[in-house]
Amino acid sequence: MTETLTRVAPAVLGLEARLVLRGALMDERLAEAAVAFEVNTAHIAGADPIPEITAPLRLTPTPAPCPYNTTLAALLYRARVRIETDGWCRDAIRDEQGARCPIGAIRVEATSRDQADDACVLLLAVIQQDFAGATIPSWNAAQTSAAPVLRYLDRAAQHAHHHNL
């Protein structure tokens, strides 16, 4: 009895069949890795195989501390921060949303009427260095954004600081 052996050509697998086989192989490897992770972390108290992902805490920005130690400079700095925080308006001391003009911001931050008057006089002097004859309300009404107002409050605060006011 002689047996004849016939060779069978290997089957050619299509793309879909190869992907299914590769997917099964990867599933097996992932299952082994999960078991290995659990074994390796079993001695760690409170180890969670899948850590909980939480959203980061929302941080609210806080204003920088006042860089000035003189009374008028600190007042002008606080007025600047007030406009940054509450908003800027041009045709009123304060609008319905709480935004303020430079005079309104100075008044609300001042501890006395005299202190507010002194700060306004100083701000006016700084403004009139570049805009002769302007008043604070007329200059403020000509601005198109809060940026120049904040810049001139900074200049006035620096002037007060350098002159120890």
Any idea where the domains of the chain sit in the sequence?
Answer: 15-44, 71-162
pTM confidence score: 0.63
As a whole number of Å, the end-to-end CA separation of the chain is 121
Residue 102: CA count within 13 A, CB half-sphere: 30
- Would you give per-residue pLDDT tens digits along the chain (165 residues)? 556 667 776 778 888 888 888 999 999 999 999 888 888 777 666 655 565 667 676 777 777 789 999 999 999 999 999 999 999 999 899 999 999 999 999 999 999 999 999 999 999 999 999 999 999 999 999 999 999 999 999 999 999 999 998
